[in-house]
Structure 1
Amino acid sequence: MSKRGDKLSDDDRVLWNLVARTAKPLKGRAAVDIPDMAVDARPTPAQPVQPAANATAVAKPKIQHVTHRLDEPTLDKLQKGRLPIEGRVDLHGMTQDEAYSLLFSFLHRAHAGGVRYVLVITGKGSSSGGDGILRRAVPAWLSTPAFRPLVSSHDHAARNHGGSGALYVRLRRARS
């Protein structure tokens, strides 16, 4: 149990905001507006901004995680089935909020379980005439700070695994 003075981590805050948005208020109560995580992270005008010298000293210890494309040999092995896909998640028919929270929790569980390669099925989303929202959004999500500690790289799947409507995702090794 946490104390009132404790603050949520960024990952916990993202998860909480997603859950809070899906909750419906009790009858006769007004809905509470939940701000986005990106809005909370920006300094407000009332908060003093640190000088550049202090900002570089503070930023040095942080490790910058960069999401890359899968290397060719690994991509080839995944496409031909010589490297096992240890988990799958299907995001078909979900809203962006539902898909984000499911993907985030799925990748957390897979990472904790030591899984290295998963398949994320977004679907092609061509029913509305354009390319799908999840098809465009999921690769962007995988590059956000919430997913960086989990995801090492990702790339489009082979035709036999869903083609442009699916992604191979390599998870980072879990630290022991």
Structure 2
Amino acid sequence: MTKSRRTRQLSSEEKRLWSHVARHVKPMRGKVLPPEPEPEEKSAPTPAPQPASPAPVPPPLLPQKPTLPPLAPVERKTLTALRRGRKDVDSVIDLHGMRQEEAHFALLRFLHQAQASGYGLVLIITGKGAAAVGSGLFEERGVLRRMVPHWLRLPDLRSLVIGFEEASPQHGGSGALYVRLRRRRGAG
């Protein structure tokens, strides 16, 4: 026994709305726009005409920015090749010893230059955040180590960064990150 699928008929308001939406798009090749629905006659007496007030105009739809895909980890094959010394990173930046704002600007500049140079994999050294002698009460250990991954996840860097992973011990271990970069648009 097969179940027949019951479909609900569109109300006149739904048909009118669909017609309105369909008029604002270009039909696919070989397709035509749906016909305008006939205005439904109401049997109820019409109310007295009111002074015409302008109908509210819906705001225009703004084009949405395409959402970027989630960050992807560096491939295992690439990590193994890096760890065994069969592959090198394309470029390196050492941020440790810099203040947070200075490091952020240096990181942005470095990533833009690396992408413009066509690099695919770079190493960012943040340092492990050893305790500084005579550090103040509010000084934190490992600020860059904590902040660089946060910066790499921000939307403004997502056009540059595909993903990142903690570096292998010979490249700095937990005090460094491998970062995969996107190819520049228009680059072959």
- Per the normalisation by structure 2, the TM-score is 0.60
Structure 1 residues without counterparts, runs of 5 or longer: 1-50
Instruction: Find the aligned partners of 2:157 and 2:74 in 1 and give their Cα distance.
Output: 16
Q: Which amino acid letter does the alignment assign opposite residue 107 of structure 1?
A: L
Q: 131, 143, 150: which is aligned to 1:133?
A: 143
1:135-174 pair list within 5 angstroms? 135-174=145-184
For residues 112-162 of structure 1, give each alpha carbon's deviation from its aligned partner in whole angstroms, at most 9, with x where no partner exists. 000111110000002159640100100110011121111111000011100
Task: State the number of aligned residues.
Answer: 123
- Cα distance in 2 for partners of 1:82, 1:96 equals 33
Report 1:1-176 matches (<5 A): 54=61, 58-59=63-64, 62-127=66-131, 131-175=141-185, 176=187
Distance 1:135 1:168 in 2: 13
Which aligned segments of 4 or more residues in structure 1 are displaced greater than 6 angstroms? none
The amino acid that maps onto 1:84 is D
Q: 1:79 to 1:131 in 2, by over 3 A?
A: farther
CA distance in 2, matches of 1:65, 1:147: 13
Q: Deviations over 1:71-98 (max 9, x none)?
A: 2111111222222211000001111100
Following the alignment from structure 1 to structure 2, what is the Cα–Cα distance between the partners of residues 103 and 83? 23
- Give the conservation status (yes or no) of the 8 Å contact 1:124–1:135: yes
- What is the CA–CA distance in structure 2 between the aligned matches of 1:156 and 1:120, rounded to whole Å? 10
Provide the C-alpha distance between the structure 1 equivalents of 2:169 and 2:120, rounded to a whole number of angstroms. 21
**Is the alpha carbon distance of 1:68 and 1:131 closer, same or farther for their aligned partners in structure 2, counting shifts above 3 Å?**
farther
Distance 2:76 2:161 in 1: 17
Which structure: larger Rg?
Answer: 2
Match in the other structure for 1:8: none
Give me the whole-angstrom Cα distance separating, in 2, the residues matched to 1:102 and 1:65. Answer: 25
Measured against aligned partners, the alpha-carbon deviations of 1:13-47 in whole angstroms (never above 9, x if no partner) come to xxxxxxxxxxxxxxxxxxxxxxxxxxxxxxxxxxx
- Partner in structure 2 of residue 24 of structure 1: none
Percentage identity across paired residues of the two chains: 45
